[in-house]
Amino acid sequence: MSFRLVLAPGRGSYAKGELGSLRRLAEAAGSDGKGLLATLEAMRRELDPDLPSLAELDGAKAFKPSLHLPGRNASPLIFACGLLHAEALRAEGRGPDLVGGNSLGFYTALVLAGALEPEQGYRLVSTMARLQEQGPAGGQVLWTLLDDDWNVVPGRAELVQELCALPDLDLSIRLGGHVVLAGTEEALATALERLPEVKVGERSFPFRLPFHGPFHTPLLLPVAQAALDELADLPLGRPRIPLLDGRGAEWSPLSTDPVSLLAYTLGAQVTRTFDFTRMVEVALSDFAPDEVVLLEPGTSLRAPVGHVERWLASPPTGSTAG
Amino acid sequence: MSIRREEIVRRRLEDLLDELGRERPRATRPDARIPAAEALACFEAGALSRLLDLEARRLKDEGLGFYTIGSAGHEANAVLGRLLRDTDPCLLHYRSGALMAARAARAGGEAFVRDTLLSLCASALDPVSGGRHKVWGSRRLAVPPQTSTIASHLPKAVGLAFAQERRVHLGLDGARPDDAIVVASFGDASVNHASATTAFNAAAWARAQSLPCPVLFVCEDNGLGISVQTPEGWIRKCFETRAGITYFHADGRDLPATWEVARRAVEHCRHTRRPAFLHVDVVRLMGHAGSDVELTYRDERTIERIEAGDPLLAWARWIVACGLATGDELSAAYDRLAARVGRVAAGAPSWPRLATVEDVAAPLRFPAWGELEACARGAAPAARRRLVWGDKLPEDDRPRHLAMQLGRALADLMAQHRELLVFGEDVARKGGVYHVTAGLYEKFGVGRVFNTLLDETMILGTAIGAAQAGFVPVPEVQYLAYLHNAEDQLRGEACSQRFFSAGQWDNPMVVRVAGLAYQKGFGGHFHNDDSLGVLRDVPGLVLALPCRGDDAVGMLRTCVAAAKVGRAVCAFVEPIALYMTRDLHEDGDGGWASAYPAPGEAVPLGEPRLYEAGRRGRVLVVTYGNGVPMALRARRLAGDLAEQDVAVLDLRWLAPLPVEAFLALARRAEEVVLLDECRRTGGGPSETLATALALDPEARGRRLTRITAADSYVPLGPAADLVLPQVDGVRAALERALSELVDEEGGA
């Protein structure tokens, strides 16, 4: 029997090339997919009546950063694509046995694990997007520890650590061979000055992630506080399959305490480094899946997961701590 | 009756889970003593640990695994894995699988299943020991790995608890919260080990002196030491009323009771900062290890009765009875874990193992001088030195003897390194039996210079613990003969730490040992012991042996750097008979006193000192310690020719032994005299050097004389001279060698 790891992507995974993904995935997911999409759209109408529907966003003639990238549109769209992709797999008999996700993808994973119903998942995603938009200014910068051949460049992790010692700048996400730094505008400006420009393949680093806030840093404490107020009644339950979080910790179907899971989801998950690298390390090495599925939209997880796979086969000599 | 019990133990649990799955779900009746999620997490950790035990045996059968001592029946320790913080250091017994599983799950982000299997398979990928041993360990989870087979980890647990508190007291930054506690677990049979009794004694002694020592001893009592039964009630009788250590007891099959008692024990230790003893009844399932056939010492009924007491059975029944989960849910969790262990273990055939001697011994390498030099040549700021010395800097003083210069070096090093501690028997106010530490207590205070109880095992255990708490300990062992009952703390613990942790954990220290013979005033074996062999064969141990004040100062600076920067364990043997020696050839010549080397001077690790011959050095005397002044005296007594033609090499370092420097000189000499004050067999370095000489293509064939102590203890009184090398014997050897050289010259 094949054991399947399913990982959901985070913000930034729905870009120009992903237009139409939602419709395609909903079709692939058959009637259950269509039902699921209808449920999510209904939730969107209820909770975000002033915003375009998911189908409208996905069906837009052109990708508009000012439309598609702000959190209140991007997050629900990415969340919906992930759920529909997973539903399409389930329809083929390829449901998940272990789930995780990067950042926003963790909310998707909560639903895929069965700890949260899709409607309530939408509520979580939409609320967090709104609170973040209303939250403190700042953003995220993507940087890499790697050279063109995916070797860890000596000194890069140390530089990141040095920068993270600056006020209001923190390691937001460990993303395989990449890292995401987040902080206030001022702190980011300093970081961008100090990080040398490099290229890996076609991609240039450092890269300011547009419309992203200072996610997974203590700057989001007010957001976490507001989320606890608004979402205290979020009906989280025990997951039905093991779920991995942004520390690489497992929430097991047997022993999960839903109160602790809620506290983590709205607390440390929001304000502390999201360690996707460790999540993948644990998933691959300690669960030994037969199959790994990276959910759509897009292919943003392919490289980070590839980095970790390679490190597990042949551990890097330099620091990857970031 | 099956000899192999693992299938029976497995089936009994699986059958019970099936049976419970057929029961009607019960209404939830939580037990106030333990949160429901914690109870379920304990069951999961216990089940995972059990499955890994079973897998260990399968891997052994397949020829892929190499370790089968398991945790089956001891799963109650999972409660500690959940209750303790991952900043509480845990020094664990080998049956701690469930504790580690629970601790790893609680912290998250650990690849516990894979790491355990890698370790069982001695794979080089094992992140703890790198394939060197099956040990429980994790840097992230504050679990220093060790083997724990003879309770030799208990003294260092007490030492660590004491030293963590001392760190707080001294206001040094600590890696851990101020209220961290130290946990050490062991079995009931281990309680009888000398190293265990000394640790309990030291913890109680600390309590008696109102010294904080937050150590939690956890005795997992399965009633057996391999095949030897522990008398009924023995642990309780020994510890229930022991002064200074608070006793707690729980039956490990009763999950809520164990949780409640363990929680109280942890809290007691954390809040009172006093030692506690948690006694947990457990059972041992499936024998001591895979190779142990229990039927040779236990009857079938007993084995079956014990198997029926499997804690996982009791826990599962209780969980279902309380409605915390259904049997089906427990079964599903168990099946998920079993499948996961199986999937991960399927990779075992391809896991690499250590392939070369260099790989195996890599963590034991001696630090390179280049790494140490800056630290060894460093000094405290001038202003701080002035606080220590006033206006009279020791380097401006006249030449002095070894003991005084050593004391001054210690003072300078204490001023330079805030984390350096000096402790041992009588080292504080008294200043040591030979006054080496005189004045340090007054200069640096009781926080950094303190007397220990009279127990060498605990002196070294304290050093290991202090080192793991971030200090650079410089303990003193009063006499070499006193080291022997404690020697395993160096061999089995301190020096093995880097080996068993692939260099990730260490316990650097400089152990000063007063030793060797030739004392005039204080005779007999115990104060004149010359058993260096015990130190020479400890892998990775730096062994320094200075014979004069200036060398001692430079070498001590290097040793402290080797500890602080090179993370090495160093033994620093001080020849007692030379402590107060000022003269070399005649009374009052001051030939053996030396000036205090100014800060900045140090002796490179492994570098010997050569006392050159006046002209040619056709005879090379190779020696150390008391042998050095003896050889110099013999050279003088042998006359001018000897002064011209005899060079004396003081090895100074017995590990790393300067073999290359020795051979380079030996190749140029015509006769080599190895003067070794230790015993002829298995003692000092002369056997090793003789072998090196014999095997060296360029030096082979040199005439070789070996002068050593006899294979005897050192007796009291003048008879000591009979067994120890004497200056007259060395002189005779030199005269003979020189005459043969002259004869040959004449013949030519």
User: What pLDDT, in 10s, does the model give residues A289-313?
Assistant: 999 999 999 999 999 999 999 988 8
Residues 325-354 of B with CB under 8 A from A: 325, 329-330, 332-333, 336, 339-340, 343-344, 346-347
Q: Least CA distance to B108: which residue of chain A?
A: A249
Give A275's strand partners: A174
* pLDDT band at residue B112 under the 50/70/90 scheme: very high
Residues 270-309 of A with CB under 8 A from B: 275, 278-279, 281-282, 285-290
Greatest Cα pair distance, chain B, in angstroms, is 108
What's the one-letter identity of residue A258? P
What are A41-89's pLDDT values in tens digits? Answer: 999 999 999 999 999 999 999 999 999 999 999 999 999 999 999 999 9
Calculate mean pLDDT across residues B492-517: 96
As a 3-state breakdown, chain A gives helix, strand, coil percent values, each rounded to 5, of 50, 15, 35
Q: Least CA distance to A238: which residue of chain B?
A: B37
Q: Kindly state whether A185 is in contact with chain B, defined as any CB-CB distance less than 8 angstroms.
A: no
What is the pLDDT at residue B147?
Answer: 78
Please answer yes or no on whether B333 and A254 come within 8 Å at the CB atom.
yes
Please answer yes or no on whether A254 and B40 come within 8 Å at the CB atom.
yes
Say which of B44, B344, B346 has its CB closest to residue A286: B344
Q: In the predicted model, is pLDDT for residue B39 greater than 70?
A: yes
In chain B, what percentage of residues exceed pLDDT 70?
99
Distances (CA, A) of A18 to A41, A58, A274, A298, B165: 19, 8, 25, 6, 58
Please answer yes or no on whether B340 and A282 come within 8 Å at the CB atom.
no
Which residues on A lie below 8 Å from B40 (Cβ)?
254-255
CA dihedral A13, A18, A22, A25 (to 10 degrees): -100
Say which of B38, B332, B344 has its CB closest to residue A288: B344
CA torsion sign for B394, B400, B404, B405 is positive
Please answer yes or no on whether A255 and B37 come within 8 Å at the CB atom.
yes
Q: In the predicted model, is pLDDT for residue B198 greater than 70?
A: yes
What is the pLDDT at residue B148?
Answer: 74
Q: In the predicted model, is pLDDT for residue A316 greater than 80?
A: no
Please answer yes or no on whether A281 and B111 come within 8 Å at the CB atom.
yes
In chain B, what percentage of residues exceed pLDDT 90?
91
Residue B442: partners with Cβ closer than 8 Å, 6 or more residues away = none
Q: What angle do CA B273, B277, B279 make, to 5 degrees?
A: 150
Lowest pLDDT segment from A18-22, B572-576, B697-701:
B697-701
* pLDDT band at residue B403 under the 50/70/90 scheme: very high
How far apart CA B597 and CA B558 sit, in angstroms, is 13
User: Which tokens sit at A24?
Assistant: 């395609």
Q: Least CA distance to A247: which residue of chain B?
A: B109
Interface test with A, best of B17, B20, B40 (most A CBs within 10 A): B40
Q: In the predicted model, is pLDDT for residue B176 greater than 90?
A: no
Which residues on B lie below 8 Å from A288 (Cβ)?
114, 340, 343-344, 346-347
- Other beta carbons less than 10 A from residue B697's beta carbon: 7
What are A254-265's pLDDT values in tens digits? Answer: 999 999 999 999
Where residue A304 falls (left for φ over 0; alpha for ψ -120 to 50; beta otherwise) is alpha
Which residues on A lie below 8 Å from B108 (Cβ)?
245, 247-250
Which residues on A lie below 8 Å from B346 (Cβ)?
288
pTM: 0.95
Residue A167 and residue A318 in contact, taking contact as beta carbons nearer than 8 Å: no
What are B698-719's pLDDT values in tens digits? Answer: 988 889 999 999 999 999 999 9
How far apart CA B122 and CA B354 sit, in angstroms, is 8
What are B153-166's pLDDT values in tens digits? Answer: 999 999 999 999 99
Q: In the predicted model, is pLDDT for residue B747 greater than 60?
A: no
What are A140-170's pLDDT values in tens digits? Answer: 999 999 998 888 999 999 999 999 999 999 9
What is the pLDDT at residue A322?
Answer: 57
What is the pLDDT at residue B137?
Answer: 94
Q: In the predicted model, is pLDDT for residue B275 greater than 50?
A: yes
Q: Least CA distance to B110: which residue of chain A?
A: A282
How far apart CA B283 and CA B299 sit, in angstroms, is 16
Which residues on A lie below 8 Å from B36 (Cβ)?
257
Q: Burial, B397: exposed, middle or buried (Cβ in 10 Å; 0-12, 13-18, 19+)?
A: middle
Q: In the predicted model, is pLDDT for residue B186 greater than 80?
A: yes
Please answer yes or no on whether B35 and A253 come within 8 Å at the CB atom.
no
Please answer yes or no on whether B105 and A257 come within 8 Å at the CB atom.
no
**Closest chain B C-alpha to A100 CA, distance in angstroms:** 13
Please answer yes or no on whether B109 and A253 come within 8 Å at the CB atom.
no
Give the H or E element holding residue A203: strand A203-205
What is the pLDDT at residue A215?
Answer: 94
* pLDDT band at residue A318 under the 50/70/90 scheme: low
What is the pLDDT at residue B748?
Answer: 42
Starting at the edge strand found earlier in the chain, the sheet holding A178-183 runs A207-209, A139-144, A178-183, A169-175, A274-275
What are B450-474's pLDDT values in tens digits? Answer: 999 999 999 999 999 999 999 999 9
Long-range contacts of B580-583 (CB under 8 A, 24+ apart): B580/B401, B580/B402, B580/B403, B580/B434, B581/B401, B581/B402, B581/B629, B582/B401
Please answer yes or no on whether B340 and A286 come within 8 Å at the CB atom.
yes
Please answer yes or no on whether A282 and B111 come within 8 Å at the CB atom.
yes
Question: Average model confidence (pLDDT) for chain B?
Answer: 95
What are B238-260's pLDDT values in tens digits? Answer: 999 999 999 999 999 999 999 99
Please answer yes or no on whether B336 and A242 come within 8 Å at the CB atom.
yes
B696: nearest Cα among B656, B674, B663, B668: B663
Residue A234: partners with Cβ closer than 8 Å, 6 or more residues away = A116, A120, A123, A124, A262, A265, A266
Please answer yes or no on whether B343 and A250 come within 8 Å at the CB atom.
no
Q: Least CA distance to B331: which residue of chain A?
A: A254
Q: Least CA distance to B351: which residue of chain A?
A: A313
**Closest chain B C-alpha to A71 CA, distance in angstroms:** 28
Please answer yes or no on whether B344 and A290 come within 8 Å at the CB atom.
no
How far apart CA B525 and CA B515 sit, in angstroms, is 11
Q: Kindly state whether A320 is in contact with chain B, defined as any CB-CB distance less than 8 angstroms.
A: no
In chain A, what percentage of residues exceed pLDDT 70?
98
Half-sphere exposure of B716 (CA within 13 A, CB side): 2
Which residues on A lie below 8 Å from B347 (Cβ)?
288
How far apart CA A215 and CA A219 sit, in angstroms, is 8
User: Which letter, b or e, does each residue of B236-255 get, where b requires 16 or more Cβ atoms within 10 Å of its Cβ?
Assistant: eebbeebebbbbbbbbbbbb
Please answer yes or no on whether A286 and B333 come within 8 Å at the CB atom.
no
Say which of B108, B113, B343 has its CB closest to residue A247: B108
How many CB pairs below 8 A link A and B? 72
Between strands B569-575 and B542-544, the pairing is parallel
Q: In the predicted model, is pLDDT for residue A183 greater than 90?
A: yes
Calculate mean pLDDT across residues B192-201: 96
**Closest chain A C-alpha to B339 CA, distance in angstroms:** 9
